[in-house]
Structure 1
């Protein structure tokens, strides 16, 4: 028999806490078992359709539809597999087992511990040398790091933590709460597709402007609400609202990533910039090593606030829904 609505809510809240515990103590599963790795392999194979630079066109609707089709096929597969696993668990397992299974399945769809550790590792590497810091940062960002100064490396690391707090945790959890395991899996697929395809112009010898446009816009839509929730979590973690947030957030070309990055810049009182593209809180101080640690602490508090909020929501539903 399917679980009653109230037990469903409690099981999902417990699943999130189980997933966070697994993330905290065990980290990421091995690559051969990681669903995001499987998504990346599918997207990598599909990306071979993208045109070489010498074949690129100003307007290329066939490539747009090809990219959209490959994306939709992958998304349907991801949704279907996740839905089948969730349905089987809810139909055949007791409540505690549903929570455990969903928690274990949810964990690979977000990555907070790895994100935090990688950002702090950039700071540790900067303590050794600028070149070491650049090399560590290259594991986090897609931009060219070879000419970045120590300040720019630190800014990029803090930006990455703020942006990926949304992409790697808040957004998957938001869609998990809203649509269950299929929602989290679909978001992770969309975000991975955006990371691999969502570029304008050339990357790795191919033109992504039209082939990756659907992937980029899909990620924008799915990330819109979670990005604003991430701001609220950071503000609650700091116990103050970042004044001037809207103005600063709109300095970035992305409709979403600027919000958590601008919030982090304003809450820390530092300048965060991407050379030649934007500067957030431009009058702020240059970030120090202590600011990297403060950013990680704000992120950790935001994670606990998010999980606590889901638990409170489940408790409310327990009393309100039969």
Structure 2
């Protein structure tokens, strides 16, 4: 399928997510994939990297194979596979869920209901919320909006443009496996290495696209976009993730706050680097972050529309003339 068709499919997929949101868990293909990979893990698990690599290979095959089947089916419909890309992006994208969940947490914090905000936080992040104050919860939500907009908005757009439905669902599979086994725990320190490295590789470009879009959209003081890129260059390399640090430091700079700091994951404590300059976030920062990532998604969709139009115009200008079309230089029969 041509780039223009993929770009149009990406735009339609983003629109589907904005209109419909996430399917129920019982009917969500990502949930089915997670169940399947849980069974694969039980069959392959060993505290070593090679079984983990086999696990990751199976998962990528399942995701890419589902995208290939969707693409084959979509080519039978009008649009030459655009519907397949739209469906894949609609299933892989979670922008609406991120915005709605962050708004619910913001409302709880605004009403002074810290316990209610803590209760909702695991919908977005894996850290232990029990000891977080209001600022800690706000920082966690802002960081999640940045990181997950890369994984669940920009990456589906990027892989949809590059590789169509198979690329979108292969990335979704890798990202899901990373969430399942890619964290640094006793059980997954070796087994999850391949999934984690694959996720880093597939999110490398989308994270930097996100930072570039944030720099363009930053409308605070003059040179704000340049400040965003400078903060990314300064702070992101200290983050343990090559991609989360880019996304979070870009958001911190655009919002004028400081992110990072100590985190707790069960019994494990991580002292994350500080990202950005300014005060710690509060519940109003969540609203600003939600508007920022919403503009990133809308801009990505608009750019895809422009790309589809440009490709369509170029194709129409360079289409070879059919031998059955009359040449303007031939004399018409009398």
In which range does the TM-score fall when normalised by the shorter chain?
0.7 to 0.9
Q: State the Cα deviation string for residues 200-222 of structure 1 (Å, max 9, x = none).
A: 233xxxx1011000000010111
Task: For structure 2, list consecutive stretches of 5 or more residues without a partner in the other structure.
Answer: 220-224, 263-269, 320-334
Q: State the Cα deviation string for residues 95-127 of structure 1 (Å, max 9, x = none).
A: 2x8434542343011110001111121111222
SS in 1 for 2:260: strand
The normalised TM-score by structure 2 is: 0.84
Q: Report what 1:185 is aligned to.
A: 169
Residue 80 of structure 1: how far off its partner (Å): 1.7
Q: State the Cα deviation string for residues 66-98 of structure 1 (Å, max 9, x = none).
A: 1111221221122122112212322x2222x84
Q: Is the 8 A contact 1:112 1:168 kept in 2?
A: yes
SS in 1 for 2:120: helix
Q: Report what 1:265 is aligned to.
A: 252
Q: Report what 1:171 is aligned to.
A: 155
Q: Is the 8 A contact 2:4 2:307 kept in 1?
A: no
Query: 1:166–1:116: structure 2 CA closer, same or farther, 3 Å change rule?
Result: same
Q: Is the 8 A contact 1:265 1:280 kept in 2?
A: no
Q: Report what 1:303 is aligned to.
A: 297
Is 1:69–2:74 an aligned residue pair?
no
2:153 & 2:25 partners in 1: Cα distance? 19
The normalised TM-score by structure 1 is: 0.87
Of 190, 201, 210 in structure 2, the residue corresponding to residue 210 of structure 1 is 190
Runs of 4+ in structure 1 over 6 Å off: none
Of 97, 101, 107 in structure 1, the residue corresponding to residue 90 of structure 2 is 107
Task: For structure 1, list consecutive stretches of 5 or more residues without a partner in the other structure.
Answer: 52-59
Query: 1:199–1:151: structure 2 CA closer, same or farther, 3 Å change rule?
Result: same
| Structure of greater Rg | 2
* Count of residue pairs brought into register by the alignment: 300
Q: What aligned pairs does 1:230-241 form with structure 2 within 5 A after superposition? A: 230-239=210-219, 240-241=225-226
Is 1:255–2:242 an aligned residue pair?
yes
